[in-house]
Structure 1
Amino acid sequence: MTNSNNDMATNSKMILFIGSNAAVANPVGGMKHALKARDRNGAKIVVVDPIFTKTAAKADMYIRIRPGTDIAFVYGMLHLIFKNGWEDKEMLRTRAYGWEQIRDEAEKWNPEEVANVTGCKVEELETFTRMFATTKPATLLWALGITQHSVGSANTRILAILQLVLGNVGKPGGGCNILRGHDNVQGSTDMNCLADSLPAYYGLGDAAWKHFCKGWGQDYDEFIKRFAVSVKEPRDKKGEPVKNTLFNEYFYHNPTAPEDRNWRNEKGYSLAKWWQGVLESEDTFSSGRLRVLWVQGTGIASMAHTTKIADALDQIDLLVIAEPFLNEVAIMTDRPDGIYVLPSSTQFETEGYCTATNRSAQWRDQIIKPIYESKEDQEIMFLFAKKFGFYDEYVKGMMMDVVDGEVKQVKNDFVWPDDATDEIARTTQSIGNNGRTAARLRKHQQNWEYFDKETLLGSGPVEGEYYGLPWPCWDEKHPGSPNLYDITKPYAEGGMGFRNRFGLEHNGVSQLADESITLPGSKVKGGHPQITKENIESVLGITLTDEERRVMGPSWSMDYSGLIAKKCREAGVVPYGNARARTIVWEFDDQIPKHREPIHSPRWDLVQKYPALGDQARNFRVPTRFISEQQAKDWSKEFPTIMSSMRLVNLSGAGMIERTSKYLAAITPEMFAHVNPKLAAKYGIKDNEFMWIHSPQGTKIKVKCYYSESVTPDRICLPYNFAGVMQGVDLSPRYPEGTKPYIIGESSNTITNYGFDPVTQIAEFNAGLCRLEKA
């Protein structure tokens, strides 16, 4: 999120919700702030969505498009923007790279072709584009309706490119703003609770491991030994060789394969496809099958392909669940043993900080001590570490600090959560987190009343600081950065250009910002590279002492001494550089975003014209099908109806918490699907009758049919907040005594179609096909 909801309410004149039903998302703050913007600023609200949502009901304009066609729609906007000269020419000239390729691709997307592909009307596209392009400042907001696709990463890229082309980046009231549906999603992302990187978005290369080993007080050479795995022939649980696996093919028939696998440099299994690492029927690039699943703080039941998950749960050796409420992954298997449920405490029983979607941190006090036998999350992990003999290494980072420019152990015990917070601040320079110490965050909590609710700027005891110190917050003197990429402010007030991440030039073209792009007060004029030990003297025009050279880290993101940040502050220069925003990602198969039909598309003619990407032989340790699945046959002949998922305002995620409240459960007492009466009549299904929904994967669910004009006759929409029933089978007997929610129901994820994003592996929840049948 480049800006904030408060910024939108205060400054935005034009608001686009695309793939976001903010009126029912959790929390609903995004919608409240949009309505404030309408009242205060006369802002226009437009909703682009396949479903007429509660958000659309409050919009000034609603445009219905077919699921999975967002890129085509935005290219239609860009076509008209370039045709009419509405682009921000100065932004593109001085701060962008590769935009000409976007213009060339947009040239293909005339309004008629956009209408053909997306289902919108030509006049809707033209009217809205003029409105969005000529109203300043304009912001756009998205959520899972954009990301949960086999082209989810490309979807988010094209939206950012749209704002770049229009010059709505780095401006109050502009930006790209993501409405998260859960508390601390941004914080968990910052900590990289993912399989493909380390905390704060550091990669898996050895330089990153060395950086963290230093911060954790660990010897790198000893630390990495636990990751080095000699190649051995994979064997099953009985000790028999596993034949015909991709692992065998790669390592035993590939002369260039390494002799040893250093798993520290390899992605793990993704949350979306972990089950592929368990099932013997699935191919993987790994030296063995997953045997244990530990679930803590995530709704596995809200993942796609629940039948595959259930099969995997039957085969693993051990399932451990640490949750305040029973995670319903526990009842997806009927195994009689090997499942342990550990009661963890709620947020009211613990202390620490969360990071909101706008990058601001919020400190929270412990209201009560954990009740009964429950324990705080960290206590569970500490006990785990003690049991398996690595507790001392696990907690040592909290006893470290920087002394005379070097990281050293300064004490023999730690205070939770303060020392953990300071460890995070100390080690996560890559997001400019160094200034977000426990003392500063506590101070913000204790002085809430001194912050302006619109600008987030503090006064009195928090003078000049932005609430929650939104990162980047480069050092303990920095106020935080409310709006990313704002070049009108000096470094010391949260100003910055675009980050220099991808070299100094590409195809002979400089990747640095134009000479005219200079932060106020900066001693370096125009664009400059990210600051490293090697270039700091030449870029900043300074001379380091021998001692400074000795203790300084290799780059701004790996410098524990704090010297690079100090020298940059003195020069008014942002450590990560001042570059151009690239529209081309030359590492991707699609270097610019391109419309590709969903894996299971209702338009066989468009599948031929806009095919999926080629299959991935290996990503996150598993192969993934794209074009082979898409073009295996015309799926729409057997499964003619489009299927999308939706949120419910009274339930979040898999609903495992809220469905245990009889009051929240009463609002939505059963699982259902919204179906247009014309579509239901085709199958003889009456309102409020049960029906079967079948998927191309051979799975099915039994749910109530709710007549609704919010969906057109070619599509249905159903919530993803239920569990407890699997393909018509009531799983109630599997709930431990006292844990069954007030309501249960089929999970929509049982019929989620096959399809995964090529970068993140998020599943294609929102653009599948299905077939209805009267129950």
Structure 2
Amino acid sequence: MANTFGYGGMTNHLGDMQFSKFILVIGANPAVNHPVSMVHILRAKESGAKIVCVDPHFSKTAAKADEYVRIRSGTDVAFVYGMINYIVEQKLYDEKYLKERVYGYEEIFKEAKKYPLNVTSDITGIPAETIKSVATQMAKAKPASLIWNQGLTQHTVGTSNTRIMPILQLILGNIGKNGGGVNILRGHDNVQGASDMGNLSDTLPGYYGLGEGPWKHFCKHWYVDYEWMKGRFKSKEMMEKTGYALSTWRFGVLDEENFGNNANTPLKALVVIGNGISTTSLLDKTKAALDKLDLVVFIDPYVNDVAVITERKDNLFLLPAASQMETSGSVAATNRAYQWRYQVMKPMFECREDHEILFDLAERLGFKEEFQRSLYEIAKKEGRKEFIWPDDATTEMAQSIRSIALQGMSAKRLKEHCDNWHMFDKVTLGGYGPMKNQYYGLPWPCWSDKHPGTPVMYNDSIPVMQGGMGFRVNWGEKAPDGTSMLSSRKLPNAKIGGHLAITADNIESVLGIKLSAKEKEAVKGTTFATGTTNILVEKALEAGICPYGNGKARMVVWNWYDKIPLHREPLHSIRQDLVSKYPTFPDKKDLFRANVRFESEQKKDWKKDYPLNMLTGRLVAHMGTGTETRSAKYLAEIAHTMFVEIHPNTAFNLGIKDKDDVWVYGVGGTRILVKAKLSYRVDENSVFLPQNFSGVYSGESLLDRYPDGTKPYAIGEAASLVVGYGYDYNTACPETKSGLCRVEKA
């Protein structure tokens, strides 16, 4: 099952923001969601950077910004096109950068002309002068950084949002620059690692696809036969098919029309390991699916909230997992850097570490030997009979995940960084003394055990062995229109300029070298991202080039439905007058195995019955669902009551006073009972709900359902019960950041 929240990663890193002159924060609230990141942002401000926060909700980040810009939720693409149009009109873009490093910018300029300041203002609700001012400030600041998070991803146009932001930075020449880049903040200590390791149902680890080639690559590293692996699936087609997502699995249980996307079989069992699935939209559908499944298992240090919400009476298991303090291994930070975490204490009581649980499960399913084989093979190479956990698992990970270049991340190097963390500069990440010529955490790509890691991606002004790189050539040598996708620039000390990704077939012609017969045999049929040796990569590094090529970033994705980002109104839009001009996508079949509604959902005039924009977000006192933090006495005391923020004028018109009990109704006919909190942090057309509560379901307390000794100190309604239907067209990420609701006094 895929977790499709917040796809991406930082091009730069947190300390690097101190080189910024301007920081645009849009679709993110780091003061609440990423407090450590916010420290770095404030240090950048102290160093002279101007902070502009764009958000429909006046957040804690907005309170610390130099300027706050209120935007209508779901209109980010239109806002950026308005900025681009003005930037182009004023010739504030980096023309040289675009000609040398970017493909398709002419199409973006053409689309941007549809968004003059007055049109953009009407769509977004932002005054024309403000759009002009933000565009001018950002364009003239050299460099400028851009930060986003789930406020951009959790929309039907989430993918377009996360495309238009790098496009803006490319137009300004800010990608590949210290103090620039696009910096997507991860919410927990290993979200990036979970993504890197393939906890998405459309990729294998390292973002390899699901085709035969990637499967054979991993089978080789796992020391298992490809035909055996294929036999684990009903068919080769299902082996290579995108699975369910965290947002779509419910439909594989409840809706017969979706069974055909799953080999004509409904889902029958669910195992949840450390995931707060109660924050996903349509909580009523989650509950119905949990009630219907044959088997449900939760593996977590705390009682998972939906285990309390479901009404099933049997085949529901809660297994205690060890916490992060009771485990060890590598975790990946938001900047692509890996850090070693030592075990602080042994697991308490019946709690077990994740790998032990999975080893036992594999044994009961009949493939423990195959599951562990690579670990024993690594041990055997070092003269040991038993593998060492997690060190050997880290070795297997590093050797197999070559697509993003983890092969330089040995457990030994990561431990050295952890033990000598004080020997690294906090702004540049560069090491001193014994850590010299390395960047802390070896941020990927880290091409070899001699490579320092890459603190700033796409920086082609420094040599590859100092972390330099161009843009990856992943789309072929030429675009469909015949334009070369190779860059005209070259890295310092590089033998050549623009070039394709290195493969066994092209290495001799690209680098002008000759491989020995032994080397040719060792790399036969492989690329820089496949195989079991690092010969191709090492030869590329010797020639001063980046193994994955040196090409142009593409703004036009010719194989997608929206070849360039387009503004499309939310499914449940408060601006019904704009729906016909900016309609959503057509309905889509088999999106992460679910048939998903788009235009058929948008056809109804939802605003008539649900007149308020509904915004959701986190509270700084609580993490995720609040499962852990609402069980912490002092944190529960800080944020103890679920509420809805509503503008005083709107509340007055509805006959609602501060702290009144109110019902919030979602477009799906669901409702939650919460306290009204009168606030100017929202505009008169919007309300805001925190997403961190559970333990109350549509007005009914579920506190008595918690096992003895596990009741949290604070309970409340889950906002996800009233978050409406809607999913990103490409990733199936739920549209939690733009919807409609109705509020009534209870």
TM-score of the two chains, using structure 2 as the length reference = 0.97
DSSP 3-state at the match of 1:505: coil
Task: Report the alpha carbon displacement of residue 400 of structure 1 after superposing the two structures with TM.
Answer: 3.4
Deviations 1:270-292 (A, max 9, x none): 10111111114553312211111
Cα 1:441–1:367 change in 2 (3 A) is same
What's the CA shift for 1:364? 1.0
SS at match of 1:36: helix
Q: Secondary structure at the match of 2:613?
A: strand
Q: Secondary structure at the match of 1:429?
A: coil
Which deviations, in whole Å up to 9, do the C-alpha atoms of 1:307-342 show, x marking residues without a partner? Answer: 000000011011111101111121111211111111
Residue 272 of structure 1 corresponds to: 247
2:388 is the counterpart of 1:389: no
Contact 2:84 2:168 in 1 (8 A): yes
Aligned mates of 2:483, 2:425 — CA distance in 1: 40
- Matching residue of 1:242: none
Indicate which of 298, 312, 322 corresponds to 1:335.
312
2:422 corresponds, among 434, 449, 457, to 449
Name the structure 1 match of 2:193.
187
Structure 2 residue 296 is the aligned partner of structure 1 residue 296? no
1:651 corresponds to which residue? 622
1:572-604 CA deviation, whole Å, 9 max, x = no partner? 111100010000111211000000000000111
Counterpart pick for 2:440 among 459, 467, 477: 467
1:612-664 per-residue CA deviation (whole Å, 9 max, x = no partner) reads: 01110222111111111011x21111111000101100101111000001100
Cα distance in 1 for residues equivalent to 2:222 and 2:540? 26
SS for the counterpart of 2:657 is: coil
Q: Give the alignment partner of residue 36 of structure 1, picking from 43, 56, 65.
A: 43
Paired with 1:528 and 1:683, the residues of 2 have a C-alpha distance of 64
- Please give the root-mean-square deviation of Cα atoms over the aligned residues, in Å: 1.3
Distance 1:402 1:75, change over 3 A: farther
Describe how 1:156-305 pairs up with structure 2 within 5 A.
Answer: 156-229=162-235, 262-281=237-256, 283-284=258-259, 285-286=261-262, 287-305=264-282
Letter in 2 for 1:99: Y
Distance (Å, rounded) in 1 between the aligned partners of 2:68 and 2:360: 53
Matched with 1:429 is 402
SS of the equivalent of 1:649 reads coil
Q: Is 1:4 aligned with 2:10?
A: no
Structure 2 residue 568 is matched with structure 1 residue 568:
no
- Distance in 2, matches of 1:267 and 1:413, equals 35
Aligned mate of 1:105, from 111, 114, 124: 111
Alignment match, 2:4 = none
Supply the distance in 2 between the matched residues of 1:540 and 1:399 (Cα, whole angstroms): 37
* Equivalent residue letter for 1:507: P
Q: Report the alpha carbon displacement of residue 556 of structure 1 after superposing the two structures with TM.
A: 0.6
User: Offset at 1:401?
Assistant: 4.9
Match of 2:7 in 1: none
Q: Partner of 1:746 in structure 2? A: 717
Instruction: For residues 695-750 of structure 1, give each alpha carbon's deviation from its aligned partner in whole angstroms, at most 9, with x where no partner exists.
Output: 11111111110000111110000100011111112112221111111111110000
Amino acid at match of 1:4: H
Deviation, structure 1 residue 387: 1.6
What residue in structure 2 maps to residue 251 of structure 1?
none
Q: Secondary structure at the match of 1:718?
A: strand
Partner of 1:254: none
Secondary structure class of the residue paired with 2:271: strand
Deviation at 1:228, TM superposition (A): 3.4
* Gaps in structure 2 of 5+ consecutive residues: 1-9
In 2, are the aligned partners of 1:215 and 1:400 still within 8 Å (CA)?
Answer: no
For residues 481-630 of structure 1, the aligned pairs below 5 Å read 481-515=454-488, 517-524=489-496, 526-552=497-523, 553-630=525-602
Cα distance in 2, alignment partners of residues 570 and 696 from structure 1: 59
Are positions 1:312 and 2:283 aligned together? no
Compute the displacement of 1:510 (Å).
3.6
Aligned counterpart in structure 1 of residue 31 of structure 2, from 15, 23, 26: 23
SS in 2 for 1:77: helix
Distance in 2 separating the partners of 1:590 and 1:482: 31
Q: Distance in 2 between matches of 1:225 and 1:392?
A: 16
- In 2, Cα distance between the equivalents of 1:310 and 1:179? 30
Residue 643 of structure 1 aligns to a residue whose secondary structure is: strand
Q: Is 1:700 matched up with 2:707?
A: no
What is the distance in 2 between the residues matched to 1:166 and 1:119?
Answer: 24
CA distance in 2, matches of 1:426, 1:360: 17
C-alpha distance in structure 2 between counterparts of 1:513 and 1:8, whole Å: 29
| Offset at residue 512 of structure 1 (A) | 3.1
Match of 1:84 in 2: 90
Cα deviation for residue 413 of structure 1 reads 2.5
Is the Cα contact below 8 Å between 1:399 and 1:409 reproduced in 2? no
1:415 aligns with 2:388: yes
Question: Within 5 Å, which residues of 2 pair with 1:85-164?
Answer: 85-164=91-170
**Aligned twin of 1:248:** none
Match of 2:302 among 325, 330, 340: 325
SS class of match (1:681): helix
Q: Give 1:35's aligned amino acid.
A: L
Aligned twin of 2:22 = 14
| Aligned position for 1:240 | none
User: Relative to structure 2, which stretch is displaced further, 284-293 or 126-135?
Assistant: 284-293
Q: Show CA shifts across 1:33-79 (max 9, x none).
A: 11111112x11000111011111111111111100000000000000
- Looking at structure 2, the residues matched to 705 and 618 of structure 1 have their Cα atoms a distance apart, in angstroms, of 40
Cα deviation 1:251-273 (Å, max 9, x = unaligned): xxxxxxxxxx6211001111011
Residue 620 of structure 2 aligns with an amino acid whose one-letter code is V
How much has 1:482 moved relative to structure 2? 0.4
What is the one-letter code of the residue matched to 1:116? D
Residues 1:50 and 2:89 are matched in the alignment: no
Give the superposition deviation at 1:409.
9.9
After TM superposition, the structure 1 = structure 2 runs for residues 657-736 of structure 1, keeping only pairs within 5 Å, are 657-736=628-707
CA distance in 2, matches of 1:445, 1:668: 34
Secondary structure of 2:403's counterpart equals helix
Tell me which amino acid in the other structure corresponds to 2:40.
H
Any idea what the Cα deviations from partners look like across 1:508-537, whole Å, max 9, x if unmatched? 43443333x10011111x210001111011
8 Å CA contact 1:326, 1:739 repeated in 2: yes
- CA 501–36 in structure 1, closer or farther in 2 if over 3 Å, else same: same
User: What are structure 1's unaligned runs of at least 5 residues?
Assistant: 230-260
Contact 1:500 1:511 in 2 (8 A): no
Report if aligned partners of 2:378, 2:387 keep a CA contact under 8 Å in 1: no
Where 1:46 maps in the other structure, the secondary structure is: strand
Partner of 2:728: 757
| Residue 71 (structure 1) aligned to one of 58, 61, 77 | 77
On the 8 A contact 1:641/1:715 being kept in 2, the answer is: yes
Counterpart of 1:613 in structure 2: which amino acid?
A: F
Alignment partner, residue 5 of structure 2: none
Once the two structures are superposed, residues 135-157 of structure 1 have per-residue CA deviations (whole angstroms, 9 ceiling, x without a partner) of: 11100101111111111111010
TM-score under structure 1 length normalisation = 0.93
Structure 1 residues 747 and 613: CA distance shift in structure 2, 3 A? same
Following TM superposition, by how much is the alpha carbon of 1:87 offset from its aligned partner in structure 2, in angstroms? 0.7
